[in-house]
């Protein structure tokens, strides 16, 4: 009897240990997202609040900086206040070319000049082979044009990166940059941001994809559809969903679709999601709506 009991006890202990190790401590480090920059206050009140977005994602022992906020000084102050080590990043994602997502990049490069940076393929931005269209524009020689209206030699008409020497890779097709970590590009067809390219990130977790979005200029549902191509099981969505300009009815439809079409379990909306959308997300998701204010640390499944 005692032998049977002790065997049952040992088995129970092994089961508990196995469960803990697979759900929380698979690599010895918890998976989590720390909000570094946004206009939403969290529990910590002595941080800088500003328009823009930045979140540190830690998963599987990897550290990914997703966007860099909208102000150099505010981003730098928040990383110091929150104890974010920018020297040990695996890579940085710049979701799109707007300043409210890129303005802290110069500070990151001061701390970590060689860090790998992923940005969307975008004509005329981020400094890559994007000089090519400029060369094309400047290289047509028209003999009748007055001498002082000729462009200089078209071959030299290049545009430098805003961060000269930075290690930037531009993404056009979905790519698995680390095991289970995907970056994918969508393109805006919306007024005001027509043809703007945006990167989003999807991380495979034990509960499904955790999707991170910067500003969702192409449309949050377009991004979710692209994420679903990687894995239709979307667990969570973090970031700016750009619903500030949408009508109340459009917002209501999108929030409903999160729950019933895309079957998202958990949301951590921030940045340009908008107050009306936030109010509907809180009602629709209840405790599975995460308050993603600056300084908040939100757990992710392994």
Q: Which residues contact Fe ion (rule: CB under 5 A)?
A: 100, 215
Exposed, middle or buried, 154 (CB in 10 Å: 0-12/13-18/19+)? middle
Edge to edge, the sheet with strand 297-299 lists 167-171, 116-120, 91-93, 62-66, 54-59, 32-37, 297-299
Q: Which residues lie across from 205 on neighbouring strands?
A: 208
User: With respect to Fe ion, which residue has the nearer C-beta, 100 or 122?
Assistant: 100
Min CB(30)–Fe ion separation in Å:
28
Q: Which residue, 95 or 236, has its beta carbon nearer to Fe ion? A: 95
The least CB distance from residue 100 to Fe ion, in Å, is 4
d(CA 71, CA 79): 12
Nearer to Fe ion, 100 or 290 (CB): 100
How far is it, in rounded angstroms, from Cα 287 to Cα 272? 21
Give least dist CB 101 to Fe ion, A.
6
Report the distance separating Cα 152 and Cα 170, nearest Å. 28
**Residue 66 or residue 235: which is nearer to Fe ion going by CB?**
66
Closest CA to 161 of 208, 185, 129, 198: 129
Q: How far is the CB of 17 from Fe ion (least distance, A)?
A: 44
Q: What is the rounded CA–CA span in Å between residue 46 and residue 208?
A: 34
Cβ nearer to Fe ion, comparing 181 with 215? 215
The residue nearest Fe ion at its CB is 215
> Minimum distance between the CB of residue 179 and Fe ion, rounded to whole angstroms?
29
């Amino acid at each position: 009897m005692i032998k049977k009991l002790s065997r049952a006890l040992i088995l129970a202990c092994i089961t508990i240990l196995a469960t803990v190790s697979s759900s929380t401590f698979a690599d010895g480090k918890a998976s989590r997202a720390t909000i570094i920059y946004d206009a939403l206050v969290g529990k910590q009140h002595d941080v800088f609040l500003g328009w823009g977005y930045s979140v540190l994602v830690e998963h599987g022992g990897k550290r990914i900086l997703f966007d860099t906020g909208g102000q150099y000084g505010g981003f730098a102050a928040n990383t110091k206040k929150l104890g974010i080590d920018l020297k040990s990043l695996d890579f940085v994602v710049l979701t799109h070319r707007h300043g409210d997502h890129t303005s802290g990049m110069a500070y990151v490069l001061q701390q970590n000049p060689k860090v790998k940076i992923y940005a969307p393929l975008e004509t005329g931005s981020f400094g890559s082979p994007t000089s090519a269209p400029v060369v094309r524009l400047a290289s047509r020689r028209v003999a009748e044009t007055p001498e002082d209206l000729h462009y200089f030699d078209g071959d030299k008409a290049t545009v430098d990166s805003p961060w000269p020497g930075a290690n930037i890779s531009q993404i056009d097709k979905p790519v698995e940059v680390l095991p289970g970590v995907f970056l994918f590009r969508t393109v805006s067809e919306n007024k005001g941001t027509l043809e703007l390219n945006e990167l989003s990130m999807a991380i495979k977790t034990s509960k499904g994809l955790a999707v991170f979005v910067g500003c969702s200029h192409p449309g949050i549902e377009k991004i979710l559809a692209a994420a679903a191509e990687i894995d239709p099981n979307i667990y969570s969505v973090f970031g700016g969903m750009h619903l500030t300009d949408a009508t109340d009815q459009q917002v209501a439809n999108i929030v409903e679709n999160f729950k019933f079409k895309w079957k998202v379990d958990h949301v951590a909306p921030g940045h340009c999601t908008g107050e009306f959308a936030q109010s509907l997300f809180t009602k629709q998701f209840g405790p599975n709506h995460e308050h993603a204010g600056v300084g908040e640390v939100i757990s992710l499944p392994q």
